[in-house]
Structure 1
Amino acid sequence: MHRFNSLLPLALCSLIFVAAVSCSQEKSFSWQLVHQQEKLSLRGISAIDSSVCWASGTDGTVLLTTDGGTSWEDRSVPGADSLDFRDIEAFDEKTAVVMSAGEGSLSQLYKTEDGGESWTKVHQNKQPEGFFNAIAFWDREHGVLQGDPVNGRIYVLVTSDGGNSWSEIPLQQMPDGVRGEYGFAASGTHLTVQGENNAWLGTGGRKARVFKTTDKGQSWSSHETPIISGRASTGIFSLAFRDQDYGVAVGGDYNKELQAKKSVAITEDGGTSWQLVEEAELDYRSVVRYAAPYFITAGPSGSEYSSDGGHTWKPIEGTSFHSISVGQDGTNAVWASGSNGRIAKLVIN
């Protein structure tokens, strides 16, 4: 017994040391604001690296920085003042495709190959009931676009030439739709790609489902999720995948932004089945992205990060955002965009 007592202080010291080291290694997350502009809403953002980033939004606005956000160049599309560019996908500081969302002909696609000095309209929606929601690219050539249902089925376009031309996936190849089910043009991230062939898109409204393709959008399967649904303002607003199997879905009710109810779900089988994360308790969130080893999410009431695959979340110091983009250079440069022209970079210390 005496020997045991003599070792107790040493054991306690060891525990204190381990706890101190653990605390000292805990990282801090904050947003560094690099752009603001009143009355400008930016829902599109595409990061290349820590220096180069594109953003897009209302009034036909397109912005570009090549110096890490110190200065921004106005690369807006001429004559597009009436368009709301809700998604942008860039390949480098010269080449980008931007998408406007809107009813009928207001849904359009433009491409630049000279850093936004000039733009070419590459596609305009021809469906009266159509409404573009998001675009995503697997590589510089192959991409996919999702729009609201046409004739009762989710509308999908694909490109194999870098966005210069787009072709429709025949509606009969798409799963049956549900009346009142659609996608949200909230952040350009309810549609996400992974690897060389995989993509997922989330829906909302009457149903909150995930549609999956493993062949670059040629065929799709649909899968139920436990994310809140049933009203026009509810559903999945964003998806992010760590690999071909593990993914996180976020959403909620944009009319009840502070309601933390059925807003986060995870999958471990590539989107076939989804489990609600009850302990997450996140408010409505419009975006989630994966920046290894973290999932990062944001919405009108704030932003959070998760280091355990989306099970628990910790707040990030700073303001609110609509969308997030992770750089393509492997350095995990994370940029965010939001209302009042806000653009920020994530700082991890």
Structure 2
Amino acid sequence: MQRLNNIIPLICFSIILTIVVSCSQEKSFSWEIVHQQEKLSFRGISAVDSSVCWVSGTDGTVLKTTDGGKNWENLVIPGVDTLDFRDIEAFDRQTAVVMSAGKGSASQLYKTADGGKSWKKVYENKYGEGFFNAIAFWDGKYGVLQGDPIGGHIFILVTSDGGDSWTEIPRQEMPKAADGEYGFAASGTHLTVEGESTGWLGTGGHMAHVFKTTDKGQSWTTHETPFIAGRSSTGIFSLSFRDEDYGVAVGGDYNQELQEKKNVAVTEDGGASWKLVEDAGLDYRSVVRYTTPYFIAAGPSGSEYSPDGGYSWKSIEGPGFHSISVGAEGLSSVWASGSSGRIAKLNIK
């Protein structure tokens, strides 16, 4: 009996020590603002690593840092100061493709291969009702662009030479879009890719679908979702996948940013079916990105990270953002861009 009495305090001490150690290991997330230009809005961001990051936005602005955000170079593209560069995809410190969004000819693509010293226009939208929404690349050669539907069908461009040239997928081979259904040029992340040839596209407006490709954008299948939809401001704004099976979608209603309703969903079968996270507690969110082991989401009102695949979310200290990009180093190379010309890096302690 005396021996048992000695063991019980040891067990209790062990439990308490485990709890204390566990609590002490909980991480603290915060944003460090590394650049700000009040009159601009940055929706495009592409992190190469913890040192190199490209950012794009209003007034034809493209910026680049190669020293972790201490200094930023303004990369001038002549004659584009009226364009809004909503998305950018960088391959390294020398090469990047930037996309402007707008009706008709306001949607354009430019590429640089010399670090932004010179740029070449590689594509200009030729449809009056056209409107580019996002671009994404599987690697240094193969990429895809999505735009508003043309003639009632999803609009897709593909490239196989790193963005030097682009080819439209014939509309009759593309899925039909519902009346009033389109993608949102909010963060460049409602179009996302994984692996060597798989990609997903989330839509909104009157309907919220997920379209999937397994052949680098050549063909797409349509999948229903329970996401919020029905108004021009509602739908899926961003998708991110942990692998080719498990993914998280976020969005909501950008006209009701604080409304937490049908705006987070998860898939475990590669996007074929989606399940709402009823108690996610997120406001409207324009972006979600994955970097092991977390999903990270952001929107105008703030940002969060999820340690359990999108089912629960913990706040990140700092302001809201439009978009997030993860570089080659994972958690140590997470960058964000937003309104009032904010650019930030994620700090984890």
Q: Which TM class, normalised by the smaller chain length?
A: over 0.9
Residue 219 of structure 1 aligns to a residue whose secondary structure is: coil
Q: CA deviation at 1:226?
A: 1.2
The residue number in structure 1 matching 2:231 is 231
Alignment of 1:145-156 (within 5 A): 145-156=145-156
- Determine if contact 2:101/2:133 at 8 Å carries over to the other structure: yes
Q: CA deviation at 1:76?
A: 2.8
- Determine if contact 1:49/1:331 at 8 Å carries over to the other structure: no
The residue number in structure 2 matching 1:295 is 295
- Determine if contact 1:265/1:277 at 8 Å carries over to the other structure: yes
2:342 matches 1:338: no
The residue number in structure 2 matching 1:211 is 211
Q: CA deviation at 1:171?
A: 1.1
1:254-309 CA deviation, whole Å, 9 max, x = no partner?
00000011110000000000000112110000000001111000001100001111
**How many residues align structurally?**
349
Output the amino acid matched with 2:183: G
The separation in 2 between residues aligned to 1:133 and 1:215, in whole angstroms, is: 20
The separation in 2 between residues aligned to 1:306 and 1:276, in whole angstroms, is: 15
Alignment of 1:6-17 (within 5 A): 6-17=6-17
2:325 matches 1:312: no
Cα RMSD, aligned residues only: 1.1
2:120 matches 1:120: yes
Q: CA deviation at 1:13?
A: 1.1
The residue number in structure 2 matching 1:286 is 286
The residue number in structure 2 matching 1:165 is 165
Q: CA deviation at 1:2?
A: 6.9
1:12-69 CA deviation, whole Å, 9 max, x = no partner?
2111000001011111101111000111000000000000000000000000000000
Q: CA deviation at 1:10?
A: 2.1
1:183-231 CA deviation, whole Å, 9 max, x = no partner?
0000000000000000001000001110000000011001111111000
Alignment of 1:1-349 (within 5 A): 5-329=5-329, 332-349=332-349
The separation in 1 between residues aligned to 2:157 and 2:307, in whole angstroms, is: 34
Output the amino acid matched with 1:48: V
The separation in 2 between residues aligned to 1:336 and 1:61, in whole angstroms, is: 16
Residue 278 of structure 1 aligns to a residue whose secondary structure is: coil
The separation in 2 between residues aligned to 1:328 and 1:89, in whole angstroms, is: 14
The separation in 2 between residues aligned to 1:345 and 1:44, in whole angstroms, is: 15
Identity of counterpart residues, as a percentage?
73
Structure 2 residues without counterparts, runs of 5 or longer? none
Q: CA deviation at 1:7?
A: 3.3
Q: CA deviation at 1:173?
A: 1.3
Q: CA deviation at 1:9?
A: 2.1
- Determine if contact 1:263/1:281 at 8 Å carries over to the other structure: no
Q: CA deviation at 1:5?
A: 4.9
- Determine if contact 1:104/1:130 at 8 Å carries over to the other structure: yes
The separation in 1 between residues aligned to 2:52 and 2:67, in whole angstroms, is: 7
- Determine if contact 2:295/2:305 at 8 Å carries over to the other structure: yes
The separation in 1 between residues aligned to 2:175 and 2:113, in whole angstroms, is: 36
Structure 1 residues without counterparts, runs of 5 or longer? none
The separation in 1 between residues aligned to 2:336 and 2:67, in whole angstroms, is: 16
Q: TM-score, normalised to structure 2's length?
A: 0.98
Q: CA deviation at 1:331?
A: 6.1
The separation in 2 between residues aligned to 1:243 and 1:222, in whole angstroms, is: 19
The separation in 2 between residues aligned to 1:77 and 1:292, in whole angstroms, is: 36
- Determine if contact 1:94/1:112 at 8 Å carries over to the other structure: yes
Output the amino acid matched with 2:315: P
- Determine if contact 2:291/2:330 at 8 Å carries over to the other structure: no
